[in-house]
Amino acid sequence: MRAGMLTTIICLFAYAGQLWGQPIARAATTEESDEVFPIPPLVKNQTDFWIKAFQRYESSATIIHDPEFVDVIIDVIDFENMKDKFNSGRSYYKGERRDIINRYVDRYQLAINRLQKIGKKALEYGPMEQRVLQVYSRRQETLSRLFTEEIYLRTQQGLADEFPRAAERADRYIPYMEKIFANKGLPTDLTRIVFVESMFNKEALSKVGASGVWQFMPDTARLYMTVSGFIDERLSPLKATYGAASLLESNYRMLKSWPLAVTAYNHGPGGMQKAARTVGSENLDDIIRRYQGGSFGFASRNFYSEFLAARHVYKSLRQSKLFTRQPPFRIDHIRLDRPMSIDQLLTTTPLKREVIEEYNHCLLPKAFDSHRHLPLPQGFELIVPADLAENVRQALKRTQYSQIPDKKRRL
């Protein structure tokens, strides 16, 4: 029954394009594919969607779209426009927005169900059925999906106003992060993964316990950095970058391709090996289309394309005259050659508590209060302002010298 209905609906293609009042916007343009970060067709469609989410639609807008073919955008609810038209200029409360979004999704879901059940006759119900048919008719594979698969719509909040703020936050760290990746021989554009993971929110904490701009889970983080009762290097954008570079290097060494290695940052290298083996292909398009692994969900399927979109949007922002470039922090790293507590640092060096806190996000509040007398481990990298670094080094040398017993000092 569905096969016959599909043939009938395909014949409506030319008619469907005229049904909706607003023309469908052309997809955003991505960079051309290259050897380092290839962009196969399905990934390109996904990337174009995420470019729109990062660059076109602000947080006042909610995108209703297909979760499998994310570039099939059913509608965009813009509450900033709606408040002037329908709410006397008053901003909608969070609960009001949620209710409106749910009503839209439910109505479009009903439109999909009607089209799947009664075909052409569903167009008589109104513009929402017409809109659904129009957007799914743009490609053969999406039109086929409309009439052969169950569809449960998804929503995505726009990030076009948040992304420039994230870029400004990141701009002060990116030069150092790129240097860390370059020193490992890795593509420096991989640092744009932080936008996908956290929008460069240094305080980001996921509901499952991932933390920091790189969103490391505690157990994974401990393979690359210190996570203890009063030190959590996941919270240091630079120290966590060393861990992220090592992890991505390991992923690439195992998987031999950046689309798979980047996706493995979300899904795990073992998971990506299993996916490629199950599908019988290392092409990410094939894996996205055909792999049915339980944990290979929406986030994993879209992770590489979100990275490509973030890479594109960040590059565009940096080239824009409207973007305010932030000068990189002028910092230096001092490796402690012996254990020292925060209390000792404050009493023997020119460093103040607020300076240590500002430059060393990995030191938890306990380090300055209940644990201030506990030593930071030997080898701990203290990040300090560049103009204080030499004075701090000299103070640490004097402290070291003064702690040598007089008898040994004379020798």
> Which CATH number does the domain housing residue 304 bear?
1.10.530.10
Q: Is the pLDDT of residue 155 over 50?
A: yes
Whether the predicted pLDDT of 347 surpasses 90: yes
Residues 8 and 141 in one domain: yes
Going by pLDDT thresholds of 50, 70 and 90, the confidence category of residue 22 is very low
Over residues 346-356, mean pLDDT = 96
Q: Are 234 and 212 in contact (CB under 8 A)?
A: yes
Residue 47 domain-assigned (yes or no): no
Band of pLDDT at residue 207, cut at 50, 70 and 90: very high
Containing structural domain, residue 7: 2-37+77-157
Q: How far apart are CA 137 and CA 131, in angstroms?
A: 10
Contact 50, 306 (CB under 8 A): yes
From 157, 175, 208, give the residue that closes a domain. Answer: 157
In a domain, 12, yes or no: yes
Give the 3-state secondary structure of residue 170: helix
Q: Please say if the pLDDT value at position 288 is more than 60.
A: yes
| Residue 336 shares a structural domain with residue 306 | no
Q: Tell me whether residue 273 is in a domain.
A: yes
pLDDT for the residue 17: 38
Residue 46 maps to a domain: no
377 and 258 inside one domain: no
Q: What is the pLDDT of residues 109-130, one digit of tens each?
A: 999 999 999 999 999 999 999 9
pLDDT digits (tens, 9 = 90+) for 229-274: 999 999 999 999 999 999 999 999 999 999 999 999 999 999 999 9
Residue 408 has pLDDT above 60, yes or no: no
Per-residue pLDDT tens for 126-150?
Answer: 999 999 999 999 999 999 999 999 9
When pLDDT is averaged across residues 6-18 and rounded to a whole number, the result is 38
Structure confidence at residue 29 as a pLDDT band (50, 70, 90): very low
Let me know whether 152 and 168 are in one domain: no
The verdict on residue 56 lying in a domain is no
Instruction: Tell me the pLDDT tens digit for each residue of 173-206.
Output: 999 999 999 999 999 999 999 999 999 999 999 9
Give the end of a domain, one of 319, 352, 367: 319
Q: How many residues does the chain have?
A: 411
Quickly state the pLDDT bin for 294 (edges 50, 70, 90): confident
Same-domain status, 149 and 175: no
User: Hey, what amino acid is at 348?
Assistant: T
Q: Are residues 183 and 108 in the same domain?
A: no
Q: What is the mean pLDDT of residues 301-306?
A: 98
Q: For the residues 103-111, what does the mean pLDDT come to? A: 98
279 and 345: one domain?
Answer: no
Amino acid, res. 41:
P
Give me the half-sphere count of Cα atoms (radius 13 Å) on the Cβ side of residue 389: 14
Q: Is 378 exposed, middle or buried (0-12, 13-18, 19+ CB in 10 A)?
A: exposed
Same domain, 196 and 234: yes
Instruction: Assess whether 174 and 132 both reside in one domain.
Output: no
Mean pLDDT score of the chain: 90
Q: Is residue 51 part of a domain?
A: no
pLDDT number for residue 324: 85
Q: What is the pTM of this model?
A: 0.88
Long-range own/partner contacts, residues 149-153 (CB < 8 A, 24 or more apart): 149/68, 151/66, 151/68, 151/109, 151/112, 152/67, 152/109, 153/64, 153/65, 153/66, 153/67, 153/74, 153/105, 153/108, 153/109, 153/112
Give Cα separations from 229 to 218, 326, 364, 377 (angstroms). 12, 33, 8, 13
Residues contacting 255, CB < 8 A, separation 6+: 261, 264, 269, 272, 273, 276, 282
Is 258 in the same domain as 212? Answer: yes
* Mean pLDDT in residue range 74-85: 95
Number of domains, the chain: 3
Which of the listed residues 157, 189, 206 is the one where a domain comes to its end? 157
Query: Is 297 inside a domain boundary?
Result: yes
CB 362 within 8 A of CB 212: no
Q: Decide which of 274 and 410 is more confident.
A: 274
The answer, yes or no, to whether residue 8 has pLDDT greater than 60, is no
**pLDDT score, position 35:** 84
In a domain, 55, yes or no: no
Q: Look at residue 18 and tell me whether its pLDDT is greater than 80.
A: no
What one-letter code names the amino acid at 328? P
| 358 shares a domain with 272 | no
- Asked whether the predicted pLDDT for residue 72 surpasses 80, the reply is yes
On whether both 261 and 352 belong to a single domain, the answer is no
